[in-house]
Amino acid sequence: MKQSNMVKNLGFSCIIAAFFTIEVQAQDTLRLDFRQAVDLALEANVDYQLQSNNLEVLEVAKKSAFLSHFPNANINSSFSQQSGQQFQQIEGEIVVTNVKNEVVNAGLNMNMPLFNSGRRILDTQSAKLALEAGEKGLERANQQIVFDVAQRYLQVLLDQELLRISQENLENQKEQLRQIEGFVEAGLRTISDQYNQQSEVARLESVAVDAELQLQNDLWRLSEYLQLEPGVMPLLQAVDPRSESLRFSDMGMPELYDLAQRNRVDRVQQELLVDSFQKDMKAIKAMYYPRIGAFYNYNTFFTSLDDRNLQDQLLKVYPQNTIGLNLSIPIFNNFQNKLEVTRSKVAYKNQVLQKESVDRQIYQDVKLAHQNYLAALKKHKNTDVQVLAALEAKNAVSERFRLGISNFVDLATANQQLVAAQADQAQAIYTLFFQDVLMQYALGTLEIVD
């Protein structure tokens, strides 16, 4: 009865494994390396695209602020028809007639500020700083996406490695089961050892199924982040998790923090925004002071009451040219200027607080990343020793079991310890690689390297 249940469990596990295999084969696969995955994420990420679109507005705002130093010009024209009493001056007298009068008006207006307490200069500088800050923000958003993709990408590769270990262990235990069956037939082992090994193989079947399920879940998470088409699963190119993972092992916290201060683009972005908001505040304060501007107006018109043709009236008879200066002295405008200045002042203060918060966050990011990196480094070294010791123990127990000196419990325990050590080692290797990526992200040096 016990053996029958084991056979059922084995059959059930095989059916589940076959189901996963068929499902993967039925899906479309897309071969991706890390750079291609990042490119897809950049195209699919809404926040990144929004920041990229906002950058276009900042570029136009910079051009607009620069062009504000030049005159603005407008052409205006209108056509109207008047019916009823019309006043005309004929030979020194005003004559009133009841006729229709068709009138065409045309004009050119030009205005240029000459003095506004430096507002144009401050607006130009502020727009330039805002554009630079937007570029830095987009660069940091790029690093964020690289980090997010790396996290999901490495998790899938780790799942594949853990699945490989579980499948390899399963095959080894199946081979061990065949050997024990031979020993039982030869009378060298009891039937209980065969049953125990069958139970162990069934358990490892379930472990392999769980590993396959975890891999499928993480693949779906990655494909969802990349916004792949439904039914399309990524087939990832492997990376070397041991490459350059020890670059920060000899660096201390002061050196790392100084590196982050110089490289974190979000810190540079906040500094640029502080300067931009400060100049905005000064520019708005200029509204308190008098302003001087120059203007030029050219106006002419045509009337049907005049017998002369359209060209003569518009170009020779009725043109008027006006040129002059205007002076505007603000006295009282219902506290509108005061309101705008207050808003800009509060915006500047809030931006200073935001910069201080980012400075604190940078230190916390570097500190946490450094601690996790050192812990991952220690675990990596420990798992190397752990695997070596477990392998030696497994070989020794296997030999003793073959000679009939050790029992099945010792063999199973040694094998489980070896598999656990191998899984811990794979986890440690990829964790250290990811902590290296996290350290680069915290330092602001994260980029895609072929």
On the CB side of 94, CA atoms within 13 Å amount to: 3
Q: How many Å apart are CA 301 and CA 310, to the nearest integer?
A: 9
Q: Which of 449, 443, 434, 448 is nearest to 377 (CA)?
A: 434
CATH architecture of 2-70+116-289+330-443: Up-down Bundle (1.20)
The string of pLDDT tens digits covering residues 372-405 is 999 999 998 999 999 999 899 888 888 888 777 7
Q: How many Å apart are CA 130 and CA 118, to the nearest integer?
A: 18
Residue type, 165: I
- CA-based end-to-end distance of the chain: 58
**Pick from 248-252, 327-331, 429-433: least confident:** 248-252
Q: How many Å apart are CA 266 and CA 271, to the nearest integer?
A: 9
Q: Which of 208, 256, 276, 282 is nearest to 365 (CA)?
A: 256
CA 375 to chain centre: 27
What are the distances in angstroms from CA 229 to CA 157, 221, 225? 21, 13, 11
Higher-pLDDT residue of 158, 246: 158
Q: How many Å apart are CA 298 and CA 284, to the nearest integer?
A: 32
Given a cut of 90, whether residue 149 has pLDDT beyond it is: yes
The string of pLDDT tens digits covering residues 10-51 is 344 443 444 444 344 445 889 999 999 999 999 999 999 999
E strands, 270-394, are 291-303, 320-328
The string of pLDDT tens digits covering residues 87-126 is 665 555 566 677 788 889 999 999 999 998 889 999 999 9
Q: Which structure tokens are listed for 433?
A: 């690689």
Sign of CA dihedral 12, 14, 20, 26: negative
Domain ranges of the chain: 2-70+116-289+330-443, 71-115+296-329
Higher-pLDDT residue of 277, 251: 277
H helical segments located in 27-118: 34-44, 46-67
Q: How many Å apart are CA 154 and CA 157, to the nearest integer?
A: 5
Count Cβ atoms below 10 Å from residue 80 Cβ, excluding itself: 10
pLDDT at 37 (0 to 100)? 93
